Amino acid sequence: MSNHFQPRSLKRSRYVPLNLEDYDISPTNGFLPSGQPVRRLSDPYYEPWEQIMDRFNQYLLAHHIRRQVRKMPVLDTSKLTSQAEYQRAFMILSFMAHAFVWGRNGAASEPAAEFLPASISIPWVATAEYLQLNPVVCCAAVCHWNWQILDPGAKDPMDIDNLGTLYTFSGSMDESWFYLVTTAMEAKSARGLNAILDAIIGVEDNNIARVTHALNEIAHSLRDCNRLLERMYERCDPYVFYWKIREFLAGWENMAEAGLPYGVLYEGVDDTDTFSLDNWQSLIRRFRKYAGGSAAQTPLLQAFDIALGIKHYPTGEKGLQSSVDDARRRLQQRGVPEPPTANSYLVRMRDYMPGGHRRFLEDLASICRIREYVLLVCSDAFLQVGNEQDPRVVMRQSYNACVDLMKSFRDKHIMIVTRYILAQAKNGPSISAPTVTPVSSHIIPRAAHEQAMAQKPTAFQPGGRLGGDSLPADPTMYPQTNAHAAKQTISVSAGQSSSHQPSSPAQSTAKNARLARKVDDESVVRGTGGTDAIQFLKQVRNETAHTRI
């Protein structure tokens, strides 16, 4: 069989072009909405939410956010009138929820909240189900649906210097800029998304010139992304990001070290009103664990990975990029989906994307054969050593330029994580944080605990509703004769466990139990998504580099 690409062998009848708008993707703004996000929900019914958001930063600064949220009524989401209103509802509920959980506001004795009141959890879960993503802060909430155009008459309305945020946790310029860098990337990459679909048509038509032009357009978008990422340093200070902003973006998965060993309970959801303290294990199973906001949640980078055939593998494992034989085999299987990327974290992050965007990635993987096409067209050995005027060589160079730009972007991302997270965590704050007094750091007799519960209301009363922010001490911590119970294990990181007694939620409020803290040289610094951030990013970067042809 000839090494040359044989267009006659393709099963072209199974190809159906993708339409971006079918997936709630804007041809002009990419994964952002085509129009500006809604600034206020139209029905006065939702004024309790809007009134809190009117003074959100003031409430958070004054330690009033939990008090205000507890006073909110449980509102029904049926009065939301459009996709844009559901997006706004999800966004503002996300800000309120994470402010409630993490909003200690410098109060040393105030732990992270281990439950969300029904006034947030019920409508938040409902809007999340409508938008088909997880109820937790995500890239869509803080970047895709949290922007405004400052001057609609500007030459480029979506230029980063013409954008503002609607909300931040800290009220700082640094946090706004952190979000806007991603928002501007999404808008600038609409050109690249259109080019991906054009390249797929070029492959179908065996049109080398069209594929090459599309690859050059993808490269243009990737250069824009690189330039925007470099601008992060302009207006987002690493100290402010790590010590004042980052914790609010964290989720409740792998966050035992930050005060949430079990996750968070969503009151009024998953039958949280029917448990009893006599059945602790049943209660534990009702906690929800979600990763926090992460760059891995933007569908943009995963779309470029799929388009360029960049494969990622489980962290710590090595894999191989496709060969010429693999490419030939896959090009014969039109309409057969590409197996999802083997890195389970990246696959899971799609659950934090709106449903349409997630489906786009899945459908794109089933039809995109750009790398396979370049491999087969450029498989002759003589094309590797020269002949720069050959259209096939030019196409390969255009493809490799895209891969190089993806690697460059990931190099820059690693540098930012190193400067904004690792360096801050290793060096510690410039101003010492107050000592956190543990709520309970010793084993107490059950009788004494029950007496304390009778005298002072706790978060949970047997057979009752949620009433506070933290759980009572874990019943498994009381002296017991069950030797097996004393040897329980709990997860401490992704894929790892530690054979020690599980600490109670109350005990998790011990000194330095928060995400933003100084760590020693041997400690793992986790991203807000709960991963070992630097190890994950370095492997993703190296896998990208190995994709060159």
Annotated binding site: 413
Cα–Cα distances in angstroms (integers) from residue 85 to residues 49, 92, 119, in the given order? 13, 11, 18
List the binding residues for heme b: 413
Q: How many CA atoms lie within 13 A of 267 on its CB side?
A: 22
Helix, coil or strand: residue 145: coil
Beta strands in 340-409 (DSSP E): none
| Count of other CB atoms within 10 angstroms of residue 132 | 14
Q: Which one, of 337, 367, 384, lies nearest residue 203 by Cα?
A: 367
Cβ atoms of 111 and 247 closer than 8 Å = no
C-alpha dihedral (455, 457, 459, 464), degrees to nearest 10 = 110
How far apart (Å, rounded) are the C-alpha atoms in residues 380 and 223? 30
512 φψ region: left (φ > 0), alpha (ψ -120 to 50), beta (else): left
Sequence-distant (≥ 6) Cβ neighbours of residue 16 within 8 angstroms: 367
How many C-beta atoms lie closer than 10 Å to residue 72's C-beta? 17
Burial code (b: 16+ CB inside 10 Å, e: under 16) for 269-308 equals bbebeebebeebeebbebbbbbbbbbbbbbbbbbbbbbbb
Question: What gap in Å lies between CA 297 and CA 265, rounded to an integer?
Answer: 23
Cβ contact 341:303 at 8 Å: no
SS3 225: helix
Rounded to an integer, what distance in angstroms lies between the CA atom of residue 38 and that of residue 35? 9
